[in-house]
Amino acid sequence: MSRKDFEAVAAAINTAWNSNQSSPEAQNGIRMAAFALAAKFADANPRFDRARFLAACGLATLPTIN
């Protein structure tokens, strides 16, 4: 995947995360999906910056799940 693809995924997650209509359960699912995607992207691309991706998702202030 390219940087442009990572940015598009992060933007979509950010939009979903910041939706005022998201229930706590939905937000938990969004958070889990973002962290799972970050892990997969990091495995596939050694130059992938997980912290930068999560910040773009709007999740930078949350604790990191390994």
pLDDT tens, residue by residue, 12-66: 999 998 887 878 888 899 999 999 999 999 999 999 999 999 999 998 765 555 5
Which pLDDT score is estimated for 22? 73
Enter the tokens of residue 37: 């995607």
Burial of 4 by CB count in 10 Å (0-12 exposed, 13-18 middle, 19+ buried)?
exposed
Going from N- to C-terminal start, the domains of the chain cover 3-57
